[in-house]
Amino acid sequence: MAVFDPGLDNYEEDQQIYPEVRKAEARFMPRLLAETLQNTGAWGAVRVVPNDHQISDLMVEGTILHSDGENLQLHVEARDARGTLWLDREYSAHASRYAYTSPSRGNYDAFQAIYHRIANDLLQQLRSLDSDGRRDLRRITEMRFAQEFAPEAFEDYLREDRRGHLQVVRLPAEDDPMLERIRRIRERDHLFVDTLQEHYGQFSGDMYDPYQEWRKMSYEEAIALQELRAESRRQLIAGGAAVLAGIIAAGSDNRSVRTAGSVGIIGGGYLLKGGLETRNEAQMHVQALEELGMSLEAEITPRVIELEDRTVMLSGNVEEQYEQWRELLSDIYRAEMGMLDDPTAATGP
């Protein structure tokens, strides 16, 4: 499960999108979906990773198309290790005020139904695979991982069919020394990814209360903004019409009509000013939400990785540490293969 795309590439200011909140949501939502999948009992380990570089049996990616306390819209794509598309759909849900006011809701997410629908669609695809298909999928995942580190040694084990989907051609022997080393590295990779789950779990826990408050505020703001914009438009339209009518009347040859026209211009100006002030009031709400959203960013402490010949420290945020770890895996593989080439070397961890 990759961290979601926050959907900020082409957003405009008048869309009322709060970037800091979206970035936090992009970490929070896949965690909820992963937990929903895990709770079905139909999957193995479901992990959240910073991007789609991780080779796994199934990779789920999502993009946040719209999110406030009232509505949530996601685009979700899932593709397995063969390259077969499982899911490519948009999901949307609407929350009622009850979702934020009822004490019986507890920690139940206001949009939990959307995660259940995604999980059910994925489960339907999983059930369409027979035992042989699932076994082949696991083998393809392992061979793809092996090809990352030793492409020449493992390139002949898989091939693409006409649709671009990978198939198993043959497999190395179970006691193949290179395969054993690859499996050791893959196990270390799984352990590292498991440690990332602690970060995402902590982040989700810390985020939950302020995020729910933001959603509640956002729900109220969404309703208030709709009303404010409607009122603002009415005042601006009325004010513009009054000014226009006043200008026309001011050009009249009739003195009383000209006087009424001047009054109309002044009155229309006040209506226009009122409409603009209403917009300013809405902007104050937006700024308040932006300040709240900025507090949702999380940090991650450096990690120390013990290798055979040295100690390596991974620093930066979780995404940066993950990329450093992926690079470090190549060093670990080379060290493992160096030990394999040297018959006097001790067996690695």
- The token duo for 132 is 């042989």
pLDDT in the model for residue 113: 94
- Confidence tier at 73 by pLDDT (50, 70, 90): very high
| Contact (Cβ atoms closer than 8 angstroms) between residue 221 and residue 285 | yes
CA–CA separation, 212 and 19 (whole Å)? 17
Torsion angle, alpha carbons of 162, 168, 170, 171, to 10: 150
Q: 252 and 318, same structural domain?
A: no
Q: What is the pLDDT of residue 214?
A: 76
Query: Which of 31-40, 128-137, 339-348 has the least mean pLDDT?
Result: 339-348
Please give the C-alpha separations between residue 36 and each of 31, 108, 117, in angstroms, as whole numbers.
9, 12, 10
- Integer Cα distance of 335 and 308 in angstroms: 8
pLDDT for position 251: 54
Q: Tokens 């080379």 sit at which residue?
A: 334
Average pLDDT across the chain, whole number: 79
Same domain membership, residue 308 and residue 271: no
Domain count within the chain:
2
Is residue 117 one of the residues assigned to a domain? no
What's the rounded Cα separation, in Å, for the pair 335 and 167? 30
Please tell me the predicted confidence (pLDDT) of residue 62.
98
Q: Does 247 reside within a domain?
A: yes
**Comparison of pLDDT for 235 and 296, the residue scoring more:** 235
Q: What is residue 180's predicted lDDT score, i.e. its pLDDT?
A: 93
- Write down the pLDDT at residue 335: 77
Q: Which residue has the higher pLDDT, 46 or 103?
A: 46
Could you tell me if residue 314 is inside a domain? yes
Predicted pLDDT of residue 346 = 44
- What is the gyration radius of the CA atoms in the chain, in angstroms? 29
Is residue 290 one of the residues assigned to a domain?
yes
Q: For residue 298, what pLDDT band results from cuts at 50, 70 and 90?
A: very low
Q: Which regions of 234-320 does DSSP assign to beta strands (E)?
A: 303-306, 311-314
Position 310 scores a pLDDT of: 75
Phi, psi for residue 2 in degrees, rounded to 5: -85, 150
Please indicate whether residue 177 or residue 254 has the higher confidence score (pLDDT): 177
4 within 8 A of 25, measured Cβ to Cβ: yes
Q: What is the DSSP letter of 82?
A: T
Q: Give the model's confidence band at 158: pLDDT under 50 very low, under 70 low, under 90 confident, else very high.
A: very high
Full-model pTM: 0.77
Supply the range of the domain harboring residue 283: 218-294
Decide if 226 is inside a domain.
yes
Confidence class for position 98, pLDDT limits 50, 70, 90 = confident
Q: Tell me, what's the pLDDT at 104? A: 59
More confident residue, 104 or 10: 10
pLDDT score of 290 more than 60: no
**Domain for residue 277, yes or no?**
yes
What are the tokens at 300? 């991650």
Residue 327 lies in a domain: yes
Torsion of the alpha carbons at 108, 109, 112 and 115, rounded to the nearest 10: -120
| Token duo for residue 199 | 């970060």
User: Which pLDDT belongs to residue 210?
Assistant: 77
- Is 8 strand, coil or helix? coil
More confident residue, 87 or 271: 87
Task: Let me know whether 287 and 318 are in one domain.
Answer: no
Contact 314, 303 (CB under 8 A): yes
> Angle at the Cα of 232 (from 230 to 235), degrees rounded to 5?
110
**Is the pLDDT reported for residue 12 higher than 80?**
no
Report the sign of the C-alpha dihedral through residues 309, 314, 319, 324, in that order.
negative
